[in-house]
Amino acid sequence: IFNGANDNSSGTAMLLNLMRHFKLNPPKYSVMFIFFDAEENNLLGSFFYADNPVLPLENIQYFVELDMIGDNGNNIYCQISDPGEEGLAYLNKINSSMENPFAKLDRHPMDDYADHYPFGLKGVPAIYIELDGDANKNYHSPRDTFENFYSNNYNRLFTLVTKFVEGYR
């Protein structure tokens, strides 16, 4: 049994909804959605793609990863590549203009446990977004179930990400 309501069914569900949104509301740039496999196996899927991209990595305006977002916290934990700093500033601007903003977009240096990492190593502006809250205590455990999942932040995170994609650069 592999439970994973928060890690990472929550990010997958958000990507599917973002795909539907951008199909109906195309942004000025093309948007590519990638679902990587083998994150738990040393990021094999994302390292493979970063080494063998379908499109040149220099064409990526910004790489956004959403992982473990089914939580009730009011802070967004962010890991950002150095070239991604401009994107964080823009996310903060969007957040502060929202009706119900997150308390903080908490910036952390990149770490090698999530799929944004291989892209950040190659100089791609990249951000990893995770919500920090009560569901985190169930990380990689049999308790990462729907009953321990929170959806109260879904709409405002969806708004933050769509506004970012629609208005960045």
Q: Each residue of 32-87: pLDDT tens digit?
A: 999 998 887 888 999 999 999 999 999 999 999 999 999 999 999 999 999 999 99
The pTM of the full predicted model, rounded to 2 decimals, is: 0.93
Only one residue has tokens 């569900």, namely 13
pLDDT in tens, 6-33: 998 999 999 999 999 999 999 998 999 9
Over residues 91-132, the pLDDT tens digits come to 999 999 999 999 999 999 999 999 999 999 999 999 999 998
